[in-house]
């Protein structure tokens, strides 16, 4: 069944492939889990967000739950190419049914929500991600801090940095550079300097990225 679905997507245009396969699967008394997971995977691969949402609604009405891998792939597709309100609704409904979104799913949704100014919604998923224990390594913390800095949510970025340190997770040069750059981009050079001091106290040497961010920040402050 998996080979059949992939073969149809290779042979015809993705929208037509979806139409053919949905007709075929709906004739089955019980949709096979492997077939459903494979179709959702193909829809996500081709960024067919609306079709993925439609298919997930059909499946949920029959009591089907995709596995976590397929669910996270599909949600990433919805977040990147679909209405965010609908993506949030689907995500919340599947969380209630016991599915666990992955770190990348939460991060993509937070980035999208913060990017359009829906900070309260972004914070809600930030809290869910934290409570789910998904912030557990320097890599995940660096990615979240970068997300917050890009959204110019510097208070939250600093709080996340402090929480990380309290948990005994040591910052890296990337962590410091991200925070320095984030503060410099909004003209908060005084805050950036604090992280430069911490960077030096932690035994790191500033690199070209550190200096570029600081020079840019000083130029912005001079012209403000």
Say which CATH number the domain at 216 has. Answer: 1.25.40.10
Among 190, 186, 167, 164, which residue's Cα sits nearest to residue 175? Answer: 164
Residue 177 lies in a domain: yes
In the chain, how many H helices and how many E strands? 13, 0
Cβ atoms 216, 208 nearer than 8 A: no
Residues composing the chain: 224
pTM listed for this prediction: 0.80
Residue 198 lies in a domain: yes
Give dist(CA 212, CA 192) in Å, integer.
Answer: 12
Mean pLDDT of 140-149: 96
pLDDT tens across 157-194, in order? 999 999 999 999 999 999 999 999 999 999 999 999 99
H-assigned helices in 82-137: 84-96, 103-115, 119-131
Statement: residue 30 has pLDDT above 60: no
Give dist(CA 143, CA 44) in Å, integer.
Answer: 23
State the pLDDT at residue 120. Answer: 92
Statement: residue 29 has pLDDT above 60: no
Residue 2 lies in a domain: no
Residue 73 lies in a domain: no
Statement: residue 68 has pLDDT above 80: no
pLDDT tens across 74-131, in order? 787 788 776 788 888 888 887 887 778 889 889 989 999 998 889 999 999 999 999 9
pLDDT tens across 185-224, in order? 999 999 999 999 999 999 999 999 999 999 999 998 775 4
Give dist(CA 139, CA 97) in Å, integer.
Answer: 29
Domain span at residue 166? Answer: 137-224
Long-range CB contacts (within 8 A, 24+) of 79-83? 79/105, 79/108, 79/109, 79/112, 80/47, 80/49, 80/108, 80/112, 81/47, 81/49, 82/49, 82/50, 82/53
End-to-end distance of the chain based on CA atoms, in angstroms?
62
25-to-20, 31, 204 alpha-carbon distances in Å: 9, 6, 58
Residue 131 lies in a domain: no
Q: Percent of the chain having pLDDT more than 90?
A: 46
Residue 206 lies in a domain: yes
Among 139, 148, 153, 77, which residue's Cα sits nearest to residue 103? Answer: 139
DSSP 206: P
Cβ atoms 217, 189 nearer than 8 A: yes
DSSP 151: T
Residue 191 lies in a domain: yes
Number of domains composing the chain: 1
């Amino acid at each position: 069944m998996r080979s059949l679905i992939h073969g149809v997507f290779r042979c015809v245009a993705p929208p037509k492939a979806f139409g053919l396969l949905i007709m075929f699967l709906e004739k089955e008394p019980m949709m096979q889990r492997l077939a459903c997971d494979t179709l959702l995977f193909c829809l996500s691969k081709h960024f067919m967000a609306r079709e993925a949402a439609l298919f997930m609604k059909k499946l949920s009405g029959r009591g089907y739950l995709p596995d976590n891998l397929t669910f996270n792939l599909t949600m990433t597709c919805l977040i990147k190419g679909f209405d965010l309100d609908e993506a949030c609704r689907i995500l919340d409904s599947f969380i209630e049914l016991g599915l666990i979104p992955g770190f990348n799913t939460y991060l993509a949704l937070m980035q999208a929500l913060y990017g359009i100014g829906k900070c309260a919604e972004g914070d809600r998923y930030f809290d869910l991600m934290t409570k789910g224990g998904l912030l557990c390594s320097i890599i995940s913390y660096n990615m979240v801090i970068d997300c917050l800095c890009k959204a110019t949510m510097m208070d939250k970025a600093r709080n996340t940095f402090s929480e990380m340190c309290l948990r005994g997770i040591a910052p890296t040069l990337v962590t410091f550079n991200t925070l320095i750059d984030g503060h410099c981009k909004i003209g908060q050079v005084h805050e950036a300097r604090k992280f430069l001091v911490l960077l030096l106290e932690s035994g790191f040497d500033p690199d070209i990225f550190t200096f570029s961010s600081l020079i840019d920040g000083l130029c912005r402050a001079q012209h403000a």
